[in-house]
Chains A and B, each alone.
Chain A
């Protein structure tokens, strides 16, 4: 057992440190609703009072009410996009988050505001779903079409969302309405490289019950031919399927009960560069369930969430053999949140959150941990122009050293069309199961990574224009880093110190004429992320990233365009200009036409990588050239 893990560790050491780190890390419906609003930004929303009167939650109230000083970006329904259906693809084309994907459809890891892959937290209906093994979420294991709302909030979020919320948070929500309806939708797409992208969604509701579900299947032989050298993407096939369900029951006007479930089964072969290389593959199997009770008793609004999560992976070091490395974690989360409306302009929110995780795997000692967190956040709307919030959080756990966290936010509306937002917070990322319990290497003395950050945002909303410009500074120390200690043995230590700073800009514009509608959404991020000790930029963090989504609609015809540009990245920590990946822009186009009496059918075609650019997102992994797909979208 020991030998096994030791040898694997070493061979990866021999292959390269980076890869060994990677291995260690490996660990809704009603989208109809917001196809109309391309990720609009809500500049200073209404007061909490008005929100309380709102009986339909289309957004998580916590995210909505306690983001003072920060921006929340709502993303469009992925089925209206030219992107691939994974969350990674959607965010890549619509947000400033940089994604690193080692071959199309393979592990997709984010760098949000220049941070590492495990410093972006992903919340599923408010429950964190980053892997307990490596602290990160593989964004290609989430089907973006399964949610009624996907929102991204850049900047610190540990106060409310816990570990990993350093670069930012991504929120996947299934919101249910208690309004009579029966909607279902089928989306089928087939394209180059035997690629299928299929989703079926159903939403059924009355005044008592509400159900929504999504069933999806994505698969591809993914055997595209290379530009620069002979051959094609070998051993790159992937397939995944899954189910997302949400059920709500309105007990009475004051109490509601919800249940959510998510199943995901994925199988990916990792590309090889030579036929002589040993083909490997990776399997994911995730089950997530959540029971939620929400009540509203005058000024008290308690919410209780009980979640049970099971993540499993298997890594096959040789696809021709049955042998595999595995890991599995069972996580139970109980969260009680109490919202108390002190007065129309004073809102208090407290919570207690308990998390129990047990994990085992071929590379870690079977172990468990208990973490209890307490938090309080207070929001005060001083006037229609001024508001602020202040919050504190502390965890009690024996598993690792956890700091006291705070968050301070302030907003000032300078003019009806212009607001300034300021936020400062302390955030953390806890050591993972791999860090703590890796056989012969785990370090139980580790403490959490800590981040101090501040941001200042300018939010303009004038006529058809929405512009945001945010500057931020983030100092992250005690970063966990695996270093070899003696001979072949590695050990994680709190060692690295990085600073990230930069500017994010979002620009949205839309215009409707008689029969025509035009939207534009553009993002641009300038990111510095440097190692404090050497002063050098982190590898795989581009200085520049830009995205464009444009859509033109005329009657039943729709034309859309999207683009992502990633600037040059360094491949070596010494920032050697001889070892960089050049920047590239990938452009996609889509055209569709709606048919049927009630616009039941939409058929269309997509062209991805329109200009047939040859590019690599991760060195050596060539990405596909121009490729095509056709789709049909049926709504009944």
Chain B
């Protein structure tokens, strides 16, 4: 009998299973008005470092004169807390705020762009957020959602006031970079990881996709100027009219080159091939360049030019190295001479100019 009792007891115990429950999120915080503080942060640029999963990414600061650089400025200013894993990108509003996107944490941290003081966090309605832009009183953020399908990719519309979710707009393609056009329309790169061939145009007044521009296959980046939108694939550069969406010109790039990271700056287009930067005129009148304007030596085949920007005649390159150690940033003149080199965090992926 004793045995039977024990066994019954055992059987009961062995099949009693427990589960845990999730806590509900706290309500979204409110962002205050601008804070008129003079700060060194106003005279420089930020570098976003994606970090090593599951650890938080970080933001580095480098002054425009390249005299001052500081790591982990969010932590240094706020003393604790982090910016989430997979720190993807950053964007600004016109009211003194900066927003930092964590695509692993599914949240956006709002800080004062002059002091980097933490102001609040958008945590609702984001699923693998990538890039954001502010138009009027709204924030538009691309979200990739489920990786296995482009069908659920969407743009989250958040209130700039309290960072609450107002709407999700399904785009119908993959989504990645997002830009505000000179016409106040929003342009969304309809591709992710070279899977896609479209640019979606979103009208913020109606919050609807009003047009889809078809590009060459395997689109990898887009850039805008006042009249045109440019689309780059590994071997082709295209120019579309911003008003009509019509393809105006296209040109094949040099054979054997895998072009990426199209940027527009002061009347020129720039793109990278490996650890080299090429420059091309927006008129498409010249021969496509066969020689880079600069090449640098990267110790890493795959971390080379992980971040890239051209700003006011300077070229900014971030090298992510092996992604498990510090990356570096190097700034070049338009002629390709190095102006300075800085250690930054793990996986530097973008530059954001605070001016």
Residues of A participating in the B interface, judged by any CB pair closer than 8 Å: 3-4, 6-8, 10-12, 14-19, 102, 184, 186, 188, 194, 196, 198, 200, 215-217, 219-223, 229, 231, 234-237, 239, 241, 269, 273-279, 317-318, 321, 323, 483-488, 539, 571-574, 576, 579, 619-621, 634, 636
Contacts and interface: CB of A to CB of B under 8 A. Distances in A.
A292 B326 CA distance: 53
A487 B194 contact: yes
Contact of B302 (A221, A229, A237, A483): A483
A579 B55 CA distance: 11
B319 interface: no
A14 B10 contact: no
B318 interface: no
Contact of A223 (B20, B85, B106, B326): B20
Interface string B1-16: 0110011011001111
Contact of B20 (A200, A229, A237, A574): A237
Interface in B66-97: 80, 84-86, 88
A18 B25 contact: no
Interface residues of B, number: 62
Given A19-B54, A237-B18, A488 B148 contact: no
Contacts, number: 176
Contacts of A486: 258
Nearest to A22: B53
B18 A220 contact: yes
B195 A16 contact: no
Given A7-B147, A278-B106, 16 more contacts: A10-B193, A14-B103, A15-B53, A15-B85, A16-B50, A16-B86, A16-B323, A17-B52, A188-B10, A200-B14, A216-B14, A239-B17, A273-B85, A275-B25, A275-B123, A318-B146
Contacts of B104: 15, 277
A274 B103 CA distance: 12
B20 A269 contact: yes
A215 B14 contact: yes
B148 A323 contact: yes
B29 interface: no
Interface stretch (B124-132, B197-205, B209-217, B283-291): B124-132
A7 B195 contact: yes
B193 A6 contact: yes
Nearest to B72: A578
B279 to A, nearest CB: 22
Given A16-B52, A274-B84, A276-B106, A200 B10 contact: yes
B24 A275 contact: yes
Contacts of B127: 278
Given A15-B53, A234-B23, A573-B322, A217 B14 contact: yes
B325 A574 contact: yes
A36 B244 CA distance: 85
B258 A487 contact: yes
Nearest to A320: B22
Given A7-B148, A571-B52, A17 B323 contact: yes
Given A16-B50, A18-B52, A483 B18 contact: no
B194 to A, nearest CB: 6
Contact of A619 (B19, B50, B55, B195): B55
B192 A17 contact: no
Nearest 5 CB-CB pairs, A to B? A574-B325, A16-B53, A484-B302, A15-B53, A19-B53
A16 B20 contact: no
Given A16-B52, A19-B54, A572-B52, A221 B18 contact: yes
14 contacts: A7-B148, A12-B53, A14-B86, A14-B103, A15-B85, A17-B52, A186-B6, A186-B9, A198-B13, A198-B14, A221-B19, A221-B20, A572-B52, A573-B325
Contacts of B105: 273-274, 276-277
Given A196-B13, A572-B326, A235 B20 contact: yes
A196 B14 CA distance: 8
Contacts of B14: 198, 200, 215-217, 241
Given A200-B14, A219-B17, A323 B123 contact: no
A188 B16 CA distance: 12
B346 interface: yes
B324 A7 contact: no
B55 A620 contact: yes
B301 interface: yes
B106 A274 contact: yes
A275 B105 CA distance: 8
A231 B84 CA distance: 15
Nearest to B220: A487
A223 to B, nearest CB: 5
B22 A196 contact: no
Contacts of B308: none
B347 interface: yes
A239 B17 CA distance: 7
A275 B23 contact: yes
A228 to B, nearest CB: 9
Nearest to B127: A278
B107 interface: yes
Contacts of B346: 16, 572, 579
A229 B123 CA distance: 18
Interface string B95-139: 000000001111100000000000000011011100000000000
